[in-house]
Chain A
Amino acid sequence: MSETTTATREPRVEEARDSLDALDVLESEAIHIIREVVAEFERPVLLFSGGKDSVLVLHLAAKAFWPGRVPFPVLHVDTGHNFPEVIAFRDETVARLGIRLVVASVQDYLDDGRLRERADGTRNPLQTLPLLDAIASGRHDAVFGGARRDEDKARAKERILSLRDEFGQWDPRNQRPELWDLYNGRHTVGQHVRAFPISNWTELDVWRYIEREGIALPPLYYAHEREVYRRDGMWRAVSAVSPPRAAELVERRTVRYRTVGDMSCTGAVESAAASVAEVVREVATSTLTERGATRADDRISEAAMEDRKKDGYF
């Protein structure tokens, strides 16, 4: 696998430019936010799943501090149902960048009874408790996430710096005003802040930037053949944690993933887009949102994301 950062390219000198495109402005905004949080907080951490949005935030952090190292560790809340390719990518990335990875394991919580498996089998909502415990035990006062406002209507309401109480709760009716590019991260003991540097990026912005910067991603973002079956209008991968039911017909299809989450609730889309350029074209003409197309957990109710966020979810 190639490199996550621009390591394959030699340092280069760029001529003065007379215009900045939307990606340049979004990049500059994200780097500004990342630096503000590092400057003002004691112990930041980045939620890193190996998914494209968290890979993007890590890439931006590497740029923000270059030639220094990324000055914070990464935290992965592992549901135990992650795609093996993504876990491999995660491990390889942190090893290469020389940063520390902390894994909070949902499986551990299930094994010792702190959590119980849900009837519907999805483990995404179970991530909240291990996440909050990991934030508390790491004494993290700032938690970076790759959430974007265009993903969901509750996330569309989120501040760039979002204050959380000791229960990690989001209070959407009483958010701190956020003015200009002056981010107020002051908080009291027990509170922490979630920071979303790519709040203003769309899915298409993310892909265009991945193309422009040559950022590597787990292979399942690109078209590949896989054993799948149809459920809830999505293609679900055949795996130990997501077996087909008797009536569900298993087929071999060329698919790719638009989001990479828990295998038990993430669906694939049929796609022939095998390269980043092809994905950019596909996303630009898509008629479905990425979560609508691929996330069963967001279909539970109209306010599924809002309810999870209020409970301390990312």
Chain B
Amino acid sequence: MSTTLFRFATAGSVDDGKSTLVGRLLHDSKAILADQLESVARTSAERGFGGEPGAIDFALLTDGLRAEREQGITIDVAYRYFSTGRRSFILADCPGHVQYTRNMVTGAATADAVVVLVDARKGVLEQTRRHLAVVQLLRVPHVIVAVNKIDLQGYDQGAFNAVATDVTALTRELGLTEAHVIPVSALAGDNIVERSVNTPWYDGPALLELLESLPSLDELESELEALRMPVQLVIRPQGAVAHDVGDPGSFRDYRAFAGRIASGTVRVGDAVQVFPGGATTTVTGIDAGRVTLDAASAPQSVSLRLADELDAARGAVIAASGSLPAPRRELEASVFQLDPRPLTPGARVLVKTGTATVQALVTAVHGRRDLTTLGLDAAERLEANDIGQVSLKLSAELPVEAYADHRRAGAFLVIHPQDGATLAAAIVTQPVA
């Protein structure tokens, strides 16, 4: 379904100019208000930024924590909001340091696009490779590589082409089908909002033009896929009805399954199948608060009324009839290790996917991705920031699917059973049939 909301994240190695790019984008799209600009200008002057009066350190706009401003680095994701005539944007400005890659993963997981910055003078660095590997793992729909500081290379086409060639080779190796490569200067504003006269040899769009035109995740997915709705809870008010229901008696037997549609469309009268059990029934009503809908699509939050009294609670999944995948207890998964404690075979963990959380056992660690060769190296454990391949056995069957086929049914968290920490972000890979 089409929407005017678009989420994107910025990534890339430290000092490649992410925060400056974000500041420039906000400034040039007029999203920075006078008092913010004044406060940043004051701090810039106090720190002698740029040496010339009136010069603004755009990074101060996004580095919101004291420790970040003091060290001039980004530790955690900062979310920023701006809009143009065509779209509302949610921007996740992610850290570049390798030790904070977990926060970059946080910013990229919900993104429709990731803008990876590369310094035109340095080219592709290890952290560029790591971030692009994360983008590939998470299957972010669009990748934009902004080759930054092109002004410092004298706007030289050859310098840009050299980096662009490396980037394209890397994205192809990673299996990222579509990567847009743009020459930019975040500091000078070239090709950020408008195409720059300084790069006449570049005939592609400016960054903002691209962000305004790329289809969002929900536009790409929901129409093509079958209905899936994980049940969050059952709404059954009995005596405790809202003050505005009119005749409380008419809601005495009300029972509906509340959830956010993960994919597809549901219409009143549709035949649906419910996991667990696989029973088939019919949708008799779709409620969104006091409004009754004929149909609803991802990512709407609704309550579904069904014709039959089924035993379905939190963790159940309502799916288009005939589309429910075979429930599985054994999974192959790609994981990004977030926690400093290594993930090892035999680890007892929790797996959270959709609205279900079950116990699980890590039955094998198959290897970790080498960021230089991009191959899978043998490994017995996964350390923080490793991308690896593991097998898991679940304590109960779940209707998971390959993430490549179905994002919301193939993404899961690996959680520490005692302290509750999120140990790893994981995606289900193709089942070994």
A residues near B (Cβ < 8 Å) are 3, 5-7, 9, 11-22, 24-29, 31-32, 35-36, 38-39, 62-71, 96-98, 149-150, 152-157, 159, 172-173, 175-182, 184, 186-188, 199-200, 202, 205, 286-289, 292-293, 302-303, 306
A97: B residues at CB distance < 8 A: 242-243
A64: B residues at CB distance < 8 A: 258, 289, 301
B residues near A (Cβ < 8 Å) are 1-5, 33-36, 39, 43, 61-67, 69, 75-81, 83, 88, 90, 102-103, 105-106, 109-110, 218, 232-233, 235-237, 240-245, 251, 254, 258-260, 265, 267, 287-295, 297, 299-301, 314, 338, 350, 352-353, 355, 407-408, 411-413, 415, 418-422, 425
Pick 23 A–B contacts, CB within 8 A, sort by A. Answer: A5-B244, A11-B290, A11-B291, A12-B291, A16-B267, A20-B218, A20-B297, A32-B232, A36-B232, A65-B258, A67-B242, A149-B80, A149-B81, A154-B65, A178-B109, A179-B413, A179-B425, A184-B352, A186-B415, A187-B420, A188-B419, A200-B79, A287-B34
B419: A residues at CB distance < 8 A: 188
A26: B residues at CB distance < 8 A: 5
A39 touches B314 (CB 8 A): yes
Least CB separation from A10: chain B residue: B290
CB-CB nearest 4 A-B residue pairs = A186-B420, A153-B64, A292-B35, A68-B237
B39: A residues at CB distance < 8 A: 292, 302
A19: B residues at CB distance < 8 A: 1-4
Q: Bound state CA distance, A172 and B76, in angstroms? A: 8
A25 touches B3 (CB 8 A): yes
Q: Bound state CA distance, A176 and B39, in angstroms? A: 30
How many Å from the CB of A74 to the closest CB on chain B?
Answer: 15
A21 touches B110 (CB 8 A): no
B233 touches A153 (CB 8 A): no
How many Å from the CB of B401 to the closest CB on chain A?
Answer: 14
How many Å from the CB of B22 to the closest CB on chain A?
Answer: 11
B295 touches A16 (CB 8 A): yes
Q: When the two chains form the complex, which single residue of B90, B109, B292 contacts A200, counting CB atoms closer than 8 Å? A: B90
A35: B residues at CB distance < 8 A: 232-233, 258-259, 301
B75 touches A172 (CB 8 A): yes
- A12-B292, A13-B292 known; 5 new pairs, CB 8 Å cut-off, are A7-B243, A180-B408, A292-B36, A303-B65, A306-B66
Known: A5-B244, A177-B105, A179-B105. A28 touches B291 (CB 8 A): no
A36: B residues at CB distance < 8 A: 232, 355
Q: Bound state CA distance, A18 and B111, in angstroms? A: 22
A38 touches B76 (CB 8 A): no
Known: A39-B232, A179-B106. A69 touches B291 (CB 8 A): no
B102 touches A20 (CB 8 A): no
How many Å from the CB of B343 to the closest CB on chain A?
Answer: 14
Q: Bound state CA distance, A119 and B242, in angstroms? A: 45
Max count, chain B CB within 10 A of own CB: residue among A64, A66, A184: A66
How many Å from the CB of A195 to the closest CB on chain B?
Answer: 14
B294 touches A179 (CB 8 A): no
B43: A residues at CB distance < 8 A: 302
Known: A157-B76, A178-B106, A182-B411. A66 touches B292 (CB 8 A): no
Max count, chain A CB within 10 A of own CB: residue among B232, B244, B338: B244
A202 touches B81 (CB 8 A): yes
A65: B residues at CB distance < 8 A: 235, 237, 242, 258
Known: A11-B291, A21-B4, A35-B232. A29 touches B79 (CB 8 A): no
Q: Bound state CA distance, A147 and B80, in angstroms? A: 14
How many Å from the CB of A146 to the closest CB on chain B?
Answer: 16
A179: B residues at CB distance < 8 A: 105-106, 109, 411, 413, 422, 425
A62 touches B242 (CB 8 A): yes
B265: A residues at CB distance < 8 A: 16
Known: A13-B292, A14-B291, A150-B81. A28 touches B260 (CB 8 A): yes
Q: When the two chains form the complex, which single residue of B78, B243, B422 contacts A98, counting CB atoms closer than 8 Å? A: B243
How many Å from the CB of B37 to the closest CB on chain A?
Answer: 9
B299: A residues at CB distance < 8 A: 20, 25, 28-29
